[in-house]
Chains A and B, each alone.
Chain A
Amino acid sequence: GDSVTQMEGPVTLSEEAFLTINCTYTATGYPSLFWYVQYPGEGLQLLLKATKADDKGSNKGFEATYRKETTSFHLEKGSVQVSDSAVYFCALREGNNRLAFGKGNQVVVIP
């Protein structure tokens, strides 16, 4: 079935550093792709999405581009803040509206 792979391990970086979280997917069709953010003790919030190849999703300084040729949807932010500390999940939506999630990456931003 369709699946999402995120880079292993937490990410720790200093405030104002550049953030990249890798995400690749496997799908038989052309899924929509999403990044969700989860703050401690809370549910998931949609961060951004892209529905077709070459689309760029963006929100709150975060960006991700739907790359069909590399089956990737890497998340980037040019200058992180302490408030960006959270867990980030990459996901794809299958044809039946179900979401398949990656394992998530804990991001810790140090002042």
Chain B
Amino acid sequence: GAVVSQHPSRVICKSGTSVKIECRSLDFQATTMFWYRQFPKQSLMLMATSNEGSKATYEQGVEKDKFLINHASLTLSTLTVTSAHPEDSSFYICSAVGTGTKEQYFGPGTRLTVT
């Protein structure tokens, strides 16, 4: 149980285009999902907290207009990187918190490369 999936697992896009990453809780409902960014050989940096049916809360320094987050249902949150640039290349990881629990379950991550 408590499986979180991400799609795609890898994506390469051209500079200036937008990319959408999906995060799904497969066997539980998640009222809260978190989006992280991980640079090579570094720790996870929390980007934003996504609550179902409401606007995401972004961490300081994260551009909300560049990293659009939508949490439209209890099993799906999406992160859209708009007008991507090479510096946006990174490993993006989501996590989901089930209703009635505090445990975060992590997705396998999405490797984004912007050329």
- A→B interface (CB under 8 Å): 32, 36, 41-46, 89, 93, 97-99, 101-104, 106
Closest to B101 in A: A97
Q: Given the known A-B contacts A97-B32, A97-B97, are A104 and B43 also in contact in the complex, defined by CB atoms under 8 Å?
A: yes
**B49 close to A43 (CB less than 8 A):** no
- Which of B's residues lie within 8 Å of A, judged by CB? 4, 6, 32, 34, 41-44, 46, 49, 93, 95, 97, 102-109, 111
A102 and B109 in contact, given A97-B102, A97-B104 (Cβ under 8 angstroms)? no
Closest CB in chain B relative to A10 CB, distance in Å = 9
Q: Is the CB of B43 within 8 A of A42?
A: no
B102 CB contacts on chain A under 8 angstroms = 32, 93, 97
Q: Are A43 and B109 in contact (CB under 8 A)?
A: yes
B49 A98 Cβ-Cβ under 8 A: yes
* Contact A43 B108, beta carbon cutoff 8 Å: yes
| Closest B residue by C-beta to A42 | B108
The 6 closest A-B pairs by CB, nearest first: A43-B108, A44-B106, A43-B109, A43-B106, A103-B43, A101-B43
